[in-house]
Each structure stands twice: as C-alpha cells, then as structure tokens.
Amino acid sequence: MARGNEVSSMEVDEGKTAANSPKFSINVLQLLKSAQMQHGLRHRDYTRYRRYCTARLRRLYKSLKFTHGRGKYVKKAITESTVTEVRFLHILLYMSERAWSHAMEKRHLPDGPNSRQRIYLLGRLRKAVKWAALFAQLCATKGDSRSSLEAEAYASYMKGTLLFEQDQNWKTALMNFRKARDVYEELGKYGSIENQVLCRERVEELEPSIRYCLHKVGESDLQTSELMDIGEVEGPALDLFKAKLEAVMAEARSQQAASMTEFYWLGHRFPINNAKTRVSILKAQELEKDLHGPAADALPAEKKLSMFDKIFSAYHEARACIRSDLASAGNADNVKIDLNGLDKAVSASLGQRTIERNQLLISIAKTKFTKQRDEKGEKITKPEELVRLYDLQIQNSTDLYDLVSSQRNMNQEEDSFSKEYELKGLAFRAERCFFLAKSYSFAGKRAEAYALFRHAGNLADEVLKKLQVATNPDQALIKDLKILSDNCRSNCCIEHATGIMEEEKIPEKLSKGVSTMSLAGPEKKEEKYLLEKLDLYESAIGEAGTKSVPCIERFPPPFQAVPCNPIVLDIAYSSIEFPSLENRMKKDKKGIFSRLWG
C-alpha cells in the first residue's frame, strides 16, 4: 500500500513539473530567412550557407557543453528531457538546414548531378527530413503554439521537397506542400508586419510547387510549355522547382526537336543534323514567340531583357555546335556548305535580336531623357548615352547588311532584307545626329547644334522618301522618322533664336563687366585661420558637402624677416707684433758633400 502511494506521488510530481516547464518560443521563418539572406543564399551560394550552418552548430554545441567527446565520438541524442534551453531546438533546425543546403549544392552543379551524386543528394534530403521531423516533434511539446505550427510547416515542406526530388508519390508531396501553405496562410494573418510579409512570401514560393504537383497528378489542365510562367517568384524554396522545371522543359524540347529537321531563313532551308543544335534553336524560337506574341506589350522591360539574354545564350550554343560540326566535317563539301549557310542564318538571327534589344534599351533611355526632373531618384539619361547606343545600332545594322549582301546571287527576300537594314542604318544615323546636336546644345554651342539639327532633319527626310517608295515599308519606323523630322525643325528654330538672343546680349554683358572693373582688383574676404580664432566655436574645415578650402594654416607660409649675423671688420691685425718662432723651427742637417759644395 505504501509502495502504491509512493508511485502515485511520483506521478503527481512529474505531472506538476511537466505543467510548470516553460514553453520556448522560436520564430522559425524569420530566423531562417535572415540566416539564408546573410550567408550566401541571396546569391544562391549553397556552399557558403552549408559552412555557416556547420560553424553555427559548432558554436551551439560548445556553448551548451553538448560536445560528443574528445578523440572517440560518442553520439548524444536530443530528447524531450534534454531540451532545457531553446538552443537545443536551434541545433535540430540547423542540422536540417545543413543537410538541405548540402543537397541543394549537389543539385546546382554546373553539369548537373550524376548518378552517384544524385544518390548522395537524396540521402542528404532524407537526413533533412529526419531532423525536421524531430524538430517538429520536440517543438510540439517544448515550444509554444506558434513555434509548433511553424515547425510543423517546415517539416511538411522538407518532406514535400524530398518527394518532389524523387519524382514519385506526387499526391503525398502535394499534400505536404498544401499543409505547409495552409499553415503559413493562417500565420500570415497575425503577428507583426514583418512576420506577415515573410509568411506571404513563403506562400508565394510554395504555390509553383503545388501547381507543378497538380500537373503531375493530372488534376490541372496546365500545358508543359506554360510551366515556365509559374516560377517567376524568387526565393530559396523555388530553386529545386526551377531546376526540375528546366530539366522537364529540356526533355520536352528534345522531343519536339526530333521532328525539326530544317531551319528556314530568307527563302533558304538548311538541314540540322545535330540534336543539340536543334534544341538550342528551338529554345530561341520559343522565346522569340513570347517576345513577339500578343501578350508582349504587357511584359515589363526587365522581363524582356532577361528573355533577350536567354535568346542570345541559346543562339551562341547553337553556333558553338555548328562550329564544332564544321571542324569535324572533314572534306565533305556538301556538308560544309550546309553548315556554313546554317551558321550564317543563325548569326543573322542573332544580329536581328541584338538590334531589337538595343532598341528596347533606347526606348527606356528616351523615357528617362524626356523627364524634366528626377522625382523618384532615378538617373536622368544624358544625350551622350543615347549617342553611344545609336553607335551600336549603326554598327550592328552595318554588320547585318554586309552579312546578307556578301553573296553573289541574292533572292528577292534577301534583297528586301538588305535594303530594309540599309534604311534602318540611315535612320539610326539621323537619330544619332539628333542626340549629338542635343549634347552640343546643352554645352551652349549654338552654331554646332544648329548645323547638326539641320543635318539630322535632312537625313530623316531622305530616309522617309526612300521608305515611301518601298513595297512593304515599316510603319513604326516611318512614324518615328516623322516625329524626328518635326523635332529637328523645332530645335533648329529654338537654337537659331537662342543664338541671336545671346549675340544681342553680348555687348550688354561686356559693358556691364567693364563698368564693374577696378584697378584695385577684386576685394578678397579676409580669412581667419585656426590659430587666429581659437576663442570662437567655428569649424576650420568647412561644412560637409562643400568644396571650401580648409583654413587650418597658410601654406606655403608667408615670408618673414630673419636677422643675420653681424659683420666684424678685423682692423687690429696689422698693428700686432708677433714673437719670433725661429728657435722653435726644425733645422735641416747638412752632410759631408753639402759642406764641400755648399
């Protein structure tokens, strides 16, 4: 009976201890976000972040005196009874983050993970899931309600990431991603503004993975070509999704490129035998469709510039494959002719896209050039920058014209293409001349600006006459040239009037300047230096942001009179009688021969 009472009292004491134990609070999302952004993941440097997690774990082990022995490794497990501080929960979290970042490091290798590295990658993700599950389990008992919810969402995300990488059990992956999203949606309604923003960003990062899982399960009518529009949100949670999506799109392009056997350009058909060349050209053509499609006007300028960069990389890859095929072609003349023609066609397409990209940059620069004042802190474009951009346009259009017109027998399409870019080159020259005149106008050189405006207007009128005779003129180019011609006329009038006004004001300025002249010269303000105003509380350096010369001490110092040594005239020297010193002088000894012949 006494034994039973003793056991019951022990159970009551344990219950009281468990009830009175403090609940730890840990803001999982904010802690991870700050650590990731400060230690490498802002620039997708997973190696740096993994090393940070390792160093952080070492510091936690040492501060908690939870080391695993010296010499021989003795594993210490973290259980519910072990967690007496919140830093024990940090150990589990950073263990999971270290394993996850190591897996992502292998996933983002330059050539992709091979079979051995992929096995290691999956092993590290399993470790991350294991530590995240233990972290969620201990937070449920040792943490408060918000910490428990965040830990549960983190564990669900890690499990979904593992299944996502394994390409299997998409329903379970979808369930875990949805669970994490629902938790973050609820947490985003409460707490501080910073926590709410972080939760909403996390929901946006999880949304593409959920849509992709729905696509794989078959519950979504999303096409494979539309998947690239999903991952527009940036964040570490999307890196695995983007790598997977790029692999899927590459596979879809390779399947589509199997039916692509020729490249059509200006009436010529060039056979494509290399599979890598077909995939690269197909990728560039898909991006070109997006750029010139009906939804192109709604795309922001930054998005268009990134798409142009992808087109350039695709065409450069295609040219590299063509050049390697040319090097290995040997003496097969027919193959060399086809490869040279394909290389010429790809180079011409690359030149066209380069001109389009520069035209986009020019349109962005023109919008900033027309602003009278800078309200948003943006830098206003100078006319010299537009002159440089038009220099590039002239060079690119000349190269493209030379490339197409270099062959002897040109067909009708090639002839019209070369004439089109010849006229575009003249239009670019007129635009360049206009902005060069603007730069002279801003510098106050009225005569030069007037002459350049007249020349730009003449060039624009000449191109307009040639475009009106052409069969299929570019209406957008005609509109721009008409605007340019009108601007040149108005600026010519402005420069002429301004020059006359300045000429009329020259005598007045001269007479005013002569009347204010004086022989005494301009009055200089007396400057006091630091040693002369020690009793005043004034700075000798000047205010911040001003270009005033510091008044510490005069340099070089002024000349000062220096006393010289007195001149002494020694007039008593001639009247002094000095004693004879012959008795002290040494006498020469004479020998026998000197005595005889003296």
Q: Which of 336, 334, 356, 355 is nearest to 344 (CA)?
A: 336
Task: Grade residue 202 by pLDDT with cuts at 50, 70 and 90.
Answer: confident
- Mapped onto helix, strand or coil, the DSSP state of residue 407 is coil
Our CA angle for 519, 522, 524, nearest 5°, is 135
Dump pLDDT digits (tens) for 285-328: 888 887 877 777 777 888 888 888 888 888 888 888 888 888 88
Among residues of the chain, what percentage have pLDDT more than 90? 19
Question: Token digits for 225?
Answer: 């070509």
Please give the domain boundaries of the chain with CATH numbers for all domains.
28-259 (1.10.3450.40), 260-372 (no CATH), 421-512 (1.20.58)
Specify the higher pLDDT residue, 253 or 441. 441
Q: How many CA within 13 A on the CB side of residue 186?
A: 10
Average pLDDT over residues 231-260: 54
Which 8-state DSSP code applies to residue 82?
Answer: T
pLDDT tens digits, residue range 41-94? Answer: 888 889 999 999 999 999 999 998 888 877 777 788 888 888 889 999 999 999
Q: Is the pLDDT of residue 227 over 60?
A: no
Tokens of 30: 């904010």
pLDDT at position 8 is 43
**Given a cut of 80, is residue 130 above it in pLDDT?**
yes
Residue 240 pLDDT:
54
CA 203 to chain centre: 26
Contact by Cβ (8 Å): 433, 295: no
Asked whether 319 and 346 are in contact (CB, 8 A), the reply is yes
Query: DSSP letters of 555-592?
Result: SSPPP---PPPPP----SSTTPPPPP-GGGSPPPPP-H
Residues of the chain with pLDDT > 70: what percent? 82
- Residue 4 confidence (pLDDT): 45
Read off the pLDDT band of 521 (50, 70, 90): low
Three-state secondary-structure class, residue 539: coil
Instruction: Give buried/exposed letters for 319-353 (b at 16+ CB in 10 A, else e).
Output: bebbeebeeebeeeeebeebbebbbbbbbbbbbbb
SS3 147: helix
pLDDT 10s digits, 393-441: 999 999 988 888 877 677 888 888 888 888 899 999 999 999 999 999 8
**What is the identity of the amino acid at 431?**
E
- In this prediction, residue 538 has a pLDDT band, given cuts at 50, 70 and 90, of confident
| Helices vs strands, H then E, count in the chain | 17, 2
